[in-house]
Structure 1
Amino acid sequence: MVYNFRVFKKCSPNGKLTLFMAKRDFVDHISGIEPIEGVLLVDEDYKDRKVYVQVICSFRYGREEDEMMGLNFQKDLCLGSQQIYPPPEKQNTSKLQDRLIKKLGPNAYAFTFILPPSAPASVSIQQGRDEEGQPCGVQYYVKTFVGENETDRSHKRSTVTLGVRKVQYAPSKQGRQPCTVVRKDFMLSPGDLELELTLDKQLYHHGEKIAVNICIRNNSNKVVKKIKAMVQQGVDVVLFQNGQYRTTVATIETQEGCPIQPGSSLQKIVYLTPTLSSNKDRRGIALDGQLKRQESSLASTTLLAAPDQRDAFGIIVSYAVKVKLYLGALAGELSAELPFVLMHPKPGRDKKVIHADSQADVETFRQDTIDPDYEVEAY
């Protein structure tokens, strides 16, 4: 039986180097990260040259249009580098790499990189309508070039860059059901106001409705006039000490069941669905790292193996449901919040064996581009 498998292909502008990769999304399983694997085809004209392959993490933390007088708001970190030609000692290769090398011939060489556990996830920050240039965020790309050493400045004509992503998928098991209770006392007034907040589960997939169970017990002499529930996205730019901010990505206000008079109670369920479609024009929203011609979504929750495992070049994303009770100008308000996890489900895996007669579906990219922001435009 013949199986088809997809391969991404990109050539250098001069056609001397051709990069082949089987996938562009590499999954962080918390316990480890999938290796970045590929094959490079080197032209005969480069047999007397040195060829290098690197994995670059590019972190943009400021607007490109604000850069002037040598000021740069982008940091490029090389997470892995190896000389691919002349080839080093024999290294272990995967079945796909073996199959590609067999098809491409003796001038094809395999490479493999393992990202460090603390490497940040691919995230981009949504720009405003009037903003141009590269968006802020974390991007990865594989770069191959010709040079005297791995720190040599590369030339555009003999350089290939192909964007990749480091992603996380939702765990298979749910955590504890989120629940919290908050109370508010009032000066010179007896009793208190109690707000109990419960979510139906801890882990949600993108596009799924979040059921928020609200229970209010008014043992005070105040009146609850309005209820507001919202989903807030938290973004922590680790590089900056005060780089944390929150943005509301879904909200609902209701006066149903209000006013809640002293001595009475109310229990109700409201539904919230945080989606990118309802936040298209909102600047500063964190999105999943983007590749051209692919639909993006709100950024997934960042899962860390340990709270202190934060890369300085990373952006940490979190989500929480917040409910506010409005009591009037003098009495103020009472609020409670619950964190939850928002992620994509793990895609189904087809366990197909690559046979000798397998056919590769090759996707080719433009040769005359080097900027990683444009590398995925196809012919």
Structure 2
Amino acid sequence: MSPKHVIYKKLSRDKSVGVYMGKRDFVDHCDSVDPVDGVVLIDPEQIKGKKVYVMLSCTFRYGRDDMDVLGMAFRRDIFLCTRQVYPPLQDKECSIHSKIQERILRKLGDNAYPFFFEFPDNLPCSVALQPAPTDEGKHCAVEFEVKAFCAENQDDKAQKRSSVRLAIRKVQYAPDKGGAAPSGETTCEFIMSDKPLHMRVSLEKETYYHGEPINISVDIDNSSNRNVKDVSVSVEQITNVVLYSNDKYVKTVAYEETTDTVPPGTSLKKVYTLCPLLNNDNRERRGLALDGKLKHEDTNLASSSIVKEEVLKEIMGMLVTYRVVVKCNAAGMVGSSEVAVEVPFKLMHPKPVPGDEDTTDLVFEEFKRSYLKGVVGDDDESPAEP
């Protein structure tokens, strides 16, 4: 049996236009980005002489639309590009199609028209800050969307009945070659102590995959006269909202507190293991950065942001980084001092194995409208149909 290739399909309410796409995740390879392509199916009788357009947008939201006050918008369009697909501006037989587009066009017939967009190389990836369970409406997120609509011209306001919106994601995968295994260390000298305390923390590699355990090597050489206790290890997610302000969110996503002690004149060498996940402890924590969510699909902690050197960080919306933090208390006669070491690392998805488009059967999956307000990735804001 041939493997199946899912084609994502969504029709407007009046069935005048429909969008068909071979995927909803588009990969930023750092040196290039997957183009966004698909097919629009039209109903000439429903269109009644109007034109059909497809729009690709990247929007940064930092509040609910109904909170707009004094003309101040709580959303900003980072990128907007509109193409006319019907009547076609060029012979569709002469345009360049992907293999999946060609198969969809053959399947849908004469009223199907291809579309194609290229991402600029300075756009952020899909990411969203997790709202609290009691929050309502859309919240801080970088969202991508493909919209097809019919109108007299592209500047006309599209009627909801004659338009269809499909949320997509721009994602990054771990690079083929990682950097050197990261490490960090500190040396602390104390009053009334002739010798210092030295702590070194190291990881096995620079990049970890989502769901992969992280082994943290801790080496404490306590030559001081202090008693070191309460060793704790944690993984922190740091999210910098850089587009409209410099808000910074630091959230602990994995944590272990131990009773390990290092008396004066002794040392400790130990490996601790943590696995940062969007599990029960983190699933409802407000302010956690998540990879962009589509409809009811589950998601995960946001991947680390990789930004080209020449790209302005301000346009990236939100930047996500991770670090391991090891802390301990050095207790003495004149009080207690906290000693900490931070080690940065990357948390990402591995590159998937590419499929063979020539040997797959097409399976059309219809997108049902969710109408769940406040769920990141809603791709239709209209009220539910009866």
TM-score normalised by structure 2 residue count:
0.89
Which residue number corresponds to residue 174 of structure 1? 178
What is aligned with 1:304? 307
> Which structure 2 residue ranges, 5 or more long, are not aligned?
none
The SS at the match of 1:98 is helix
Cα 1:230–1:111 shift into 2, 3 Å:
same
CA distance in 2, matches of 1:255, 1:5: 52
Deviation for aligned residue 1:342: 0.7
Mapped partners of 1:107, 1:78: distance in 2: 29
| Residue 108 of structure 1, CA deviation | 1.1
CA contact (8 A) 2:370 2:380 kept: no
Q: How far 1:349 sits from its partner (Å)?
A: 2.1
1:63 to 1:182, Cα distance in 2 relative to 1, 3 A: farther
Deviation for aligned residue 1:200: 1.5
1:285 is matched with 288
Q: Which deviates more from structure 2 when the two are superposed, residues 226-235 or residues 67-76? A: 67-76
Q: For the Cα contact (< 8 Å) 2:122–2:316, is it kept in 1?
A: no
Q: Which residue of the partner structure matches residue 119 of structure 2?
A: 115
Q: Measure, in 1, the Cα distance between the counterparts of 2:148 and 2:170.
A: 19
Q: Measure, in 2, the Cα distance between the counterparts of 1:266 and 1:129.
A: 42
**1:190 alignment partner, SS class:** coil
Mark the CA change 1:65 to 1:189 in structure 2 (over 3 Å): closer, same or farther. farther
Stretch deviating more after TM superposition (96-105 or 36-45): 96-105
Which has the larger displacement, 36-45 or 358-367? 358-367
* 1:287 CA drift (Å): 0.7
CA deviation after TM superposition for structure 1 residue 187, in Å? 3.8
Q: Contact 2:18/2:148 (CA < 8 Å) preserved in 1? A: no
Query: What amino acid does structure 2 have at the position aligned with 1:12?
Result: S
- Choose which of 146, 166, 185 in structure 1 pairs with 2:189: 185
> What does residue 348 of structure 2 align with?
343
SS at the partner of 1:189? coil
Residues 118 and 311 in structure 1, CA contact (< 8 A), matched pair in contact too: no
Q: Which amino acid aligns with 2:274?
A: L
Residue equivalent to 1:14? 14
Distance 1:106 1:228, change over 3 A: same
How many residues are paired up? 373
With over 3 angstroms needed to count, the CA separation of the structure-2 counterparts of 1:162 and 1:308, relative to structure 1, is closer
> In the aligned structure 2, how far is the partner of 1:321 from the partner of 1:307?
28
Structure 2 Cα separation of the partners of residues 125 and 215 of structure 1: 35
Partner of 1:32: 32
| Deviation, structure 1 residue 78 | 3.8
Residue 330 of structure 1: aligned partner: 335
Name the CA distance, whole Å, in 1 between partners of 2:50 and 2:311. Answer: 43
For residues 336 and 63 of structure 1, do their structure 2 counterparts lie closer, same or farther at Cα, with a shift above 3 Å needed?
farther
CA–CA distance in structure 2, aligned partners of residues 291 and 102 of structure 1? 28
Q: Which residue of 1 aligns with 2:271?
A: 269
* 1:16 CA drift (Å): 0.7
Residue 343 of structure 2 aligns with an amino acid whose one-letter code is: L
> 2:330 is aligned with what amino acid?
L
8 A contact 2:9–2:365 mirrored in 1: yes
SS of the aligned residue for 1:346 comes to coil
* Alpha-carbon contact 1:26-1:167 (below 8 Å) kept: yes
Cα shift at 1:47: 5.9
Q: Report the 3-state secondary structure (helix = DSSP H, G, I; strand = E; otherwise coil) of the residue aligned with 1:312.
A: helix
Superposed CA RMSD in Å reads 2.5
Is the CA contact 2:56–2:145 (under 8 Å) kept in the aligned structure 1? yes
- Structure 1 distance, partners of 2:364, 2:274, is 41
User: Secondary structure at the residue paired with 2:315?
Assistant: coil
Matching residue's letter, 2:87: P
Provide the residue aligned with 1:361 in structure 2.
363
- What are the within-5 Å matches in structure 2 for residues 114-263 of structure 1? 114-256=118-260, 258=261, 260-263=262-265
Deviation at residue 79 of structure 1 after TM alignment: 3.2
Amino acid at match of 1:104: L
Q: Whole-Å Cα distance in 1 between the matches of residues 29 and 283 of structure 2? A: 30
Measure, in 2, the Cα distance between the counterparts of 1:227 and 1:297.
28
Q: Shift in Å at residue 301 of structure 1?
A: 0.8
CA drift at 1:281 = 2.2
1:233 and 1:317 in contact (8 A); partners too = yes
Alignment check: 8 A CA contact 1:238 1:313 kept? yes
Question: Deviation digits for residues 256-307 of structure 1, max 9, x if unmatched?
Answer: 2x1x222221111111111101311211001110012311111111112227
Query: What displacement does 1:188 show?
Result: 5.0
Q: CA deviation at 1:71?
A: 4.2
CA-CA distance at 1:50 after TM superposition? 1.6
1-structure distance, mates of 2:369, 2:198: 63
The Cα of 1:112 is off from its aligned counterpart by 0.5
Instruction: Report which stretch shifted further, 83-92 or 296-305.
Output: 83-92
Kept in 2, the 8 Å contact 1:54–1:82? The answer is yes
Judge which range, 90-99 or 229-238, deviates more: 90-99
The 1:52–1:308 alpha-carbon spacing in structure 2 relative to 1, beyond 3 Å, is closer
Matches within 5 A, 1:12-91: 12-45=12-45, 46=47, 48-63=49-64, 66-68=67-69, 70-90=71-91, 91=95
TM-score between both structures, scaled by the size of structure 1: 0.91
Does 2:297 correspond to 1:294? yes
Deviation of 1:105 after TM superposition, in Å, equals 1.7
Aligned residues of 1:59 and 1:313 also touching (Cα < 8 A): no
Corresponding residue for residue 4 of structure 1: 4
